[in-house]
Amino acid sequence: MVSDTSTERMQPTFGEYFSKNIREYGLLIALVVIMLLFQVLTGGILFKPVNLTNLVLQNSFIVIMALGMLLIIVAGHIDLSVGSIVAFIGGISAIMLVKWQMHFVLVVPLCLILGAMMGAAQGYWVAYQKIPAFIVTLAGMLVFRGSTYIALGNRPIGPFPKDFQLLSTGFIPDLLGFMGPISFTSPWMQFQQYIFDPRTWAFSWPDPQFVMATWTINNVFALAVVLLAVLLMVYSGFRARRANDRHQTENEPYTFFLVQMIVTAIVTIALGFQLSTYRGLPNVLVVMGVLIALYTFLTTRSTIGRRIYAMGGNEKAAKLSGINTERLTFYTFVNMGALAGLAGMIIAARLNSATPKAGVGFELDVIAACFIGGASASGGVGKITGAVVGAFIMGVMNNGMSIMSIGIDYQQLVKGLVLLAAVYFDVYNKKKG
């Protein structure tokens, strides 16, 4: 009886749990609100299948690099060179594919290894020579950018073979094509695009209308994969909850858990349905999903992940407890270099050309995604899901404001204010705690 009472007391109420995890769930709510806002302001364009596909393609490389950048920030460092690595690896892949006529099966792993070596070159100075990462990666940004200009001869190289382009522009084929396409008609709320005049800050507000829309599922396999992913998510959620009950550890309130599962399932199925009405799941979305799952496991379930968080929280204490902090720091930069190399190939494949100016400013978007997603500038704090959500917040804002024809000047202003607000929120929570 005593243990049951103590277990019940361990379980927080709905309000207590939400306030304790306000940063994580607040980000998800913010992403949903921003998407709904731009869906209205763009007259329904944001959620169109073609635009959702473009949104994935435009932000996949930011998400992929944010996974590596999060580990570096959690470890207490920063990497300013990722944009230049993107450009250099894109250029080298172009030289291998176009000039040397190498097969893409060889080019992809070789470029990943080269990216890892570029990360290792910087990680050595940070980890073993104790030079601040800001200085090392700033130097790397300049060196790798200059090397890109030299390698490409200040000229773009392309086009790429069709097989290599599939890395970024290809789609998973419909393995259940014998079942489709499937068409049906249902009510749909149609928006007229809201018009915004930045000179007067005035909106026009036409009323939405209900219409009968015809939907055609062109890729049945894509929808089946999304439904299976939702079932696995729900199953793993209930399984983890039962495991926490067995070990008498803290569980989120059951009502909160159910709401979270239902909302996540509805949003995932809706997005998957929209993609299935176009061309299905982009290859890069699958790559991104696998990497997100892998790095989530790495940061939450593995020894090396726990050690990175321990090192970022207190490096001296981690070292005294037997953690090889130098080697761990070195590995985080090697990992970042490999992911930046992958992003460089994805961007080159999408543009069908490698240019010396590729990747300019990408490091700022990647770092901003991590900080918006809850990573702490002082290290030791941050989640993979937060970095992914932060990347998509940036991506949705960019995409939505571009659809609304808002100039790059206002876009930069809004992104800067959002980043500042995110960092301030982190500092405020620390002071409050």
> 130: which residues sit within 8 A by CB, 6+ positions away?
none
Contact present, 169 and 57 (Cβ < 8 Å): yes
DSSP code of 48? S
* Helices 133-152 + 82-94 axis angle, to 10: 20
> 293: which residues sit within 8 A by CB, 6+ positions away?
none
The per-residue pLDDT for 3 is 44
The per-residue pLDDT for 9 is 45
Q: Residue for token digits 């939505």?
A: 400
DSSP SS3 for 284: helix
DSSP SS3 for 11: coil
pLDDT tens digits for the chain (433 residues)?
Answer: 444 444 444 566 666 666 666 666 777 788 888 888 888 778 778 888 888 888 888 888 999 999 999 999 999 999 999 999 999 999 999 999 999 999 989 999 999 999 999 999 999 999 999 999 999 999 999 999 999 999 998 888 878 888 888 888 888 888 887 776 777 676 666 655 555 555 555 555 556 666 666 677 888 888 899 999 999 988 988 888 888 788 777 777 778 788 888 888 888 898 888 888 888 889 999 999 999 999 999 998 899 999 999 999 888 898 888 889 999 999 999 999 999 999 999 999 988 888 988 888 889 889 988 988 888 888 888 889 889 988 988 888 888 888 888 888 788 888 888 778 777 776 666 666 5
Which candidate, 424, 423, 305, places its Cα nearest to that of 67? 305
CB atoms closer than 10 angstroms to residue 292: 18
DSSP alpha helices (H): ranges in 42-103? Answer: 49-74, 82-94
Give the chain's length: 433
Tokens (6 digits) for 39: 């869906």
In this predicted model, what pLDDT tens digit does every residue of 125-165 receive, in sequence order? 999 999 999 999 999 999 999 999 999 988 888 788 888 88
The per-residue pLDDT for 213 is 65
Residue spans of the domains in the chain: they are 2-157+302-432
Tokens (6 digits) for 409: 């000047």
Rounded Cα distance between 385 and 379, Å, is 17
* pTM of structure: 0.85
Which candidate, 13, 12, 10, places its Cα nearest to that of 249? 10
In this predicted model, what pLDDT tens digit does every residue of 386-419 receive, in sequence order? 899 889 888 888 888 888 888 887 888 888 887 7
DSSP alpha helices (H): ranges in 214-351? Answer: 220-246, 254-276, 283-301, 303-313, 315-320, 325-351
